[in-house]
Amino acid sequence: MRHVALQGRQIPSELRLFDRIMLKIAGYTNKDPVAKKQELQGFDFMNISSIEPILQLIQEFQGTEVHT
């Protein structure tokens, strides 16, 4: 099994109230200004290039036999 970590999108207004509160607490206590801004305002890292590692794995697996 291979793990591919993908970035994503966080839109605070679409989160549950509890999650929004937890992010605000984390944002106000975070010393990293970039992470603080992302926790408070959300982020969007969705782009087509982020799936490149998955496409590479698919190509790699297409050349191998699957045993069940």
Q: Is the pLDDT of residue 68 over 60?
A: no
Question: How far apart (Å, rounded) are the C-alpha atoms in residues 57 and 2?
Answer: 9
pLDDT band, residue 67 (cuts 50/70/90):
low
Please say whether the beta carbons of 47 and 8 come within 8 A.
no
pLDDT band at 66 (very low <50, low <70, confident <90, very high): low
Q: What is the helix (H) or strand (E) element at residue 9, kind and residue range? A: strand 9-10
Express each pLDDT in 5-28 by its tens digit.
888 899 999 999 999 999 999 999
**For residue 65, what pLDDT is reported?**
61
pLDDT at residue 64 is higher than 70: no
Three-point CA angle 31, 4, 55, nearest 5°: 130
